[in-house]
Amino acid sequence: MELKFNKKHDFKLPTGVLGAALAPHGRALAAGCMDGVYELSFETRDQRKLFAHDSYVSSTAWPTEDLILSAGYDGCVQWYSPTSDTSIRQVRLHDFWSWDMAVSQDGQWLASVTGQYLAGGYRYEPAPEREPSLQIVSVETGEILHSLPHVPSVQAVAFSPSGEFVAAGNLMGEVRVFEMATGKLAANWTTSDFTSWGIIKSHCYLGGIFAMEFSHSGDHLLLAGMGPMRDPMAGNGRQLWQKWAWQKDPPEKVDETHQGESGEGLMETLAVHPEGRQFVMAGRLRGGAWNVACFDMESGKRLAAHKTGYRVTQACYAQGGKQLVLVGTKGQPSKQKAGRFPDFGRVEVYDLS
């Protein structure tokens, strides 16, 4: 099956969009921007700023009609009612920022990951964590269920469809999967394919796993990021996803971006189709023809590709998989016009046919 991207709507927001979540009814979006959380209506095109963090908003979730959750670089998670325009709760989960946040499909649990990459030795290996890298929180009460260990920085987190497991991936390509009921480690492995060691201009590790999603069966875990590169400033590693049978002992890589189907650039988001038959990967473009592409879940074949012209930070399927919502940021203006910076946040809606 070959797909095509047909743009239906496009919107601009005042600042870059780093994370987004669809409303349960699918007609609105909670956009996590550099200056706060915005509600955007697809029908009326109205937008309004709901609330802000003390720093950038990195992730949002909209699990019920009357609840928006957001996590930010201030290390806090906020609970907000969009219908009554009131703040419900704010919990500081991390001393450093929240890289990524996810909510279980049943809406009961929230997971947030953190960690700062600091050299731990002469090989520049990451220093041990200074705080728990993975926090699991009750959405209803805000109480912490589990504080789980990992190696900083931990940049991606995902719940299994059943809610039985939570997975987190870090800078060094290490994945840890934990049992939700007990907090015990269920699987642990490292893939070096997402991590680079810079030998030009600066010496450091960079890259890592930037997005992850479970398949609908829960048997496989998708990872996304960028292939190795020598120059930390270039961002020219291969556009890379991998598919892992994580329950095998040891976990087994069963597929990855096929040769000839990718260019260069950091991939920052994954989304699995509601029926589970395909997935989307998107991010930044350094070289090549696309920064958004759909892939067949079973075969791994690329089904469609598109070039947006801006950095995509989040992709969401909508309307039962018939549409794709992309958000991101188009540069970061340095000059003001008429006393304000031009809008550089982007939201686009595509029909998939």
DSSP string, 77-122: EEEEETTTTEEEEEEE--SS---EEEE-TTS-EEEEE-----B-ST
Q: Is residue 124 left, alpha or beta, with left meaning phi > 0 and alpha meaning psi from -120 to 50? A: left
pLDDT at 151 over 70: yes
* 278 φ/ψ sector (left φ>0, alpha ψ -120 to 50, else beta): beta
Q: Token digits for 183?
A: 């907090």
Return the pLDDT at 335.
84
pLDDT of residue 234: 83
Instruction: Identify the H or E element spanning 317.
Output: strand 311-318
In the structure encoding, which two tokens stand for residue 42, read together? 């697809």
The domain ranges of the chain are: 1-16+191-353
At 63, the pLDDT band (50, 70, 90 cuts) reads very high
Question: Token pair for residue 175?
Answer: 């994945």
Edge-to-edge, what's the strand order for the sheet holding 28-33? 17-22, 28-33, 36-41, 47-51
Please identify, in words, the CATH class of the domain defined by 1-16+191-353.
Answer: mainly beta
Return the SS3 of 168: strand
Place of tokens 């990451």: 126
- For residues 194-210, average pLDDT: 90
**Between these two residues, 335 and 7, which has the higher pLDDT value?**
7
pLDDT band at 346; cut points 50, 70, 90: very high
Lowest-confidence segment of 48-52, 118-122, 335-339 by average pLDDT: 335-339
| pLDDT tens, position by position, 123-149 | 999 999 999 999 999 999 999 999 999
pLDDT digits (tens, 9 = 90+) for 306-321: 999 999 999 999 999 9
What does residue 68 show for φ and ψ, rounded to 5 degrees? -115, 135
Provide φ and ψ at 321, rounded to 5°. 95, 0
What sign does the dihedral 8-211-69-161 (CA atoms) show?
A: positive
What pLDDT score does 338 carry?
Answer: 82
Strand partners, 323: 318, 351
Threshold 0.95, pTM exceeds: yes
Report, as an integer, the average pLDDT of 191-209. 91
d(CA 97, CA 95): 7
Amino acid identity for residue 1 in this structure: M
Q: Locate tokens 């994945």: which residue?
A: 175
Taking the C-alpha atoms of residue 17 and residue 92, their distance in angstroms, rounded to an integer, is 22
Residue type, 163: G
